[in-house]
Amino acid sequence: MTAGAHGRRDRSGDEDLGGRLNQLRAGVLGANDGIVSTAGIVIGMAAATTRVPVILAAGLAGLAAGALSMASGEYVSVSTQRDTERALLEAEREQLARDPDAALDELTHEYVGKGLSESLARQVATELSAGDALAAHADAELHLDPDELTNPWQAAFASIVSFTIGGMLPLLAIILCPVEVRIPVTFGAVVLALVLTGWVSARLGHAPPGRATVRTVIGGALAMVTTYVLGRAFNV
Ligand SMILES: [Zn+2]
């Protein structure tokens, strides 16, 4: 998952939908990582040996290591982001307690910046502050919902799941195929899967999908060709 997918949301339905699409896109990118790294390992191994248990052991070890590495990276990144968000919320809470008038001026200024007139902005800020003042400041100034900070465990678990789903594809392709066609079939299955992940993640990110798909496929193909050449070098 990408760090940009977390933490930023609003109470409106559109923003919630945007958040879910971001999470979906992060999942597709995680699957993409799982596909490419596992494909590289099993194709490299299949180039070096025809023994299925050896290929399977290497593929599973690579899949587990990759999924856990991605999950711990995600855990650290989301935890750090959540610490930052909590510190910012704490600063807002302190300011509200210490100097509510200055806080109200600040919130008014935010709404003037968004295009409201001075008097309407003051009225909006005053009414919002009469309710949950901290939530109003967090929303307008930090684009955060204090009750909806991203959970690092959830992010880590999501990376494990998406990476594993992606990695299973080349692993199954290589161990289920007969030895003569093992490498080309796996290569082809991975290219097709990368066309799908490249296309879907570009569409979810509102990018033109053609170029993104070509880049994704070229990246994966380079990884597989590289490990194939390395594996051949050890084939005796
Ligand atoms: Zn404030």
- Distance (Å, whole) CA 7 – CA 137: 16
Q: Is residue 55 part of a domain?
A: yes
How is residue 142 annotated by DSSP?
I
Phi/psi region, residue 74 (left: phi>0; alpha: psi -120 to 50; beta: rest), is alpha
CB atoms closer than 10 angstroms to residue 209: 18
pLDDT tens across 89-103, in order?
999 999 999 999 999
- What is the three-class DSSP state of 203? helix
Task: Compute the distance from residue 150 Cα to the ligand 1 centre, in Å.
Answer: 21
pLDDT tens across 25-46, in order?
889 999 999 999 999 999 999 9
Task: Compute the distance from residue 23 Cα to the ligand 1 centre, in Å.
Answer: 28
- Print the domain residue range for 136: 3-8+28-233
Task: Compute the distance from residue 155 Cα to the ligand 1 centre, in Å.
Answer: 29
Determine contact, residues 14/41, Cβ cutoff 8 Å.
no
Task: Compute the distance from residue 109 Cα to the ligand 1 centre, in Å.
Answer: 10
Task: Compute the distance from residue 99 Cα to the ligand 1 centre, in Å.
Answer: 10
Q: What is the pLDDT of residue 12?
A: 47
Determine contact, residues 104/129, Cβ cutoff 8 Å.
yes
Mean pLDDT, range 186-200, rounded to an integer? 97
* Domain count along the chain: 1
- What is the three-class DSSP state of 20? helix
pLDDT tens across 146-187, in order?
888 888 999 999 999 999 999 999 999 999 999 999 999 999
Residue 9 reports pLDDT greater than 70:
no
Determine contact, residues 47/231, Cβ cutoff 8 Å.
yes
Q: Is residue 136 part of a domain?
A: yes
Q: What is the pLDDT of residue 14?
A: 61
Determine contact, residues 193/216, Cβ cutoff 8 Å.
no
Q: Is residue 37 part of a domain?
A: yes
- Distance (Å, whole) CA 26 – CA 40: 21
Q: What is the pLDDT of residue 132?
A: 93
Task: Compute the distance from residue 22 Cα to the ligand 1 centre, in Å.
Answer: 27
Task: Compute the distance from residue 154 Cα to the ligand 1 centre, in Å.
Answer: 29
Task: Compute the distance from residue 152 Cα to the ligand 1 centre, in Å.
Answer: 26
Q: What is the pLDDT of residue 150?
A: 84
Task: Compute the distance from residue 128 Cα to the ligand 1 centre, in Å.
Answer: 12
> Which of 14-23, 76-85, 136-145, 188-197 is predicted least confidently?
14-23
Residue 75 reports pLDDT greater than 80:
yes
CA distances from 81 to 14, 25, 69 (A): 23, 19, 18
Burial of residue 161 (CB within 10 Å: 0-12, 13-18, 19+) is middle
Q: Is residue 155 part of a domain?
A: yes
pTM summary value: 0.80
Q: Is residue 13 part of a domain?
A: no
Residue 19 reports pLDDT greater than 80:
no
